[in-house]
Amino acid sequence: MLIRCIRCEKLKLKHSILWLACLGIPVIPAIMGTFNYMGNLETLTPGWANLWTQETLFYANFFYAPLIGLCCAYLWRLEHRNHNWNTLMSAPVPAWAIILSKLAVILRTLILIQIWVGVLFLVSGKCIGVENRFPVETLGWLLRGTLAGAVIGALQLFLSMVIRSFALPIILALLGSIGSIYAAAKGIGLFFPYSLMMLGMNSNHAENMLEGQLAVFLASSVGMLLLFYLLSVLYLKKTDVKA
């Protein structure tokens, strides 16, 4: 049952122009970050670490959440159109399988985006002649960002399910991204879902932002991921057909 649901969700994205957004949008923060790095070499220590801080500053804080929000809104778009919600409610498919299949597709998309971000970082560094050893810890930051991104994906799936508007959940994702900076500055970033990405990716910091807090980060991420998943399942179980 779950495998069939995942296949159905993958079909929605197979011939979608959404992949152009997934490929194109991460290029923007990579370019912005590279130019920002080049323009501030008098204050930044040249090297991979500071190039990473500049690229992830824009990606994790402003671009990622709206991008994944766009993907989540797209996955729920078909169900919200015409009378497809009623068809979904009457289908012999359990709510947990519907939500988990969408989350699985979002996670797959997220992993591909994170790999692409890593490739863009490497290519941009090589293009501007960054020397020294490539920081292998970047791979760990990408993995942490993937987990944090899954939390945002689960939250955006819930919002896109509850809110029938296509654009509103994406706007909320952008506002959440902006609010993540404030939450992190106030020391509550580990408990604010949109802040987890910047913390996991070590955004705008050359040193490890989660030094001594990795266990809290993992617990918070897994806890919120399960919370938003269960909220989605419960909502889908309690909701009814719509006239």
* pLDDT (0 to 100) of residue 2: 80
Q: Give the pTM.
A: 0.92
Instruction: Report yes or no on 8 lying in a domain.
Output: yes
Considering only 59-73, 120-134, 203-217, which range has the smallest mean pLDDT? 203-217
Instruction: Report yes or no on 46 lying in a domain.
Output: yes
Instruction: Report yes or no on 243 lying in a domain.
Output: no
* pLDDT (0 to 100) of residue 115: 96
* pLDDT (0 to 100) of residue 217: 95
Express each pLDDT in 142-186 by its tens digit: 999 999 999 999 999 999 999 989 999 999 999 999 999 899 888
Q: Is the pLDDT of residue 83 over 80?
A: no
Handedness of CA 163, 28, 153, 175 (dihedral sign): negative
CA distance 116 to 44: 25
Q: Average pLDDT over the chain, rounded to whole?
A: 88
Distances (CA, A) of 243 to 84, 85, 213, 237: 11, 10, 49, 17
* pLDDT (0 to 100) of residue 40: 87
Q: What's the start-to-end Cα distance of the chain, in Å? A: 28
Higher pLDDT, 145 or 2: 145
Instruction: Report yes or no on 141 lying in a domain.
Output: yes
Instruction: Report yes or no on 98 lying in a domain.
Output: yes
Confidence of residue 82 (pLDDT cuts 50, 70, 90): low
152: domain range?
2-238
**What tokens does 51 get?**
């190039």
Per-residue DSSP letter, 62: I
CA distance 171 to 54: 24
Instruction: Report yes or no on 130 lying in a domain.
Output: yes
CA distance 1 to 14: 20
Q: Can you tell me which residue has the tokens 């889908």?
A: 236
Q: Is the pLDDT of residue 242 over 60?
A: no
CA distance 148 to 189: 12
Confidence of residue 206 (pLDDT cuts 50, 70, 90): low
Domain count for the chain, please give it. Answer: 1
The mean pLDDT value for 64-69 works out to: 94
**What tokens does 16 get?**
């979608």
CA distance 150 to 49: 25
Region label for 207, one of left (φ > 0), alpha (ψ between -120 and 50) or beta (otherwise): beta
* pLDDT (0 to 100) of residue 243: 44
Query: Percent of the chain beyond pLDDT 90?
Result: 58
CA distance 37 to 194: 25
Instruction: Report yes or no on 10 lying in a domain.
Output: yes
Higher pLDDT, 134 or 155: 155
Instruction: Report yes or no on 199 lying in a domain.
Output: yes
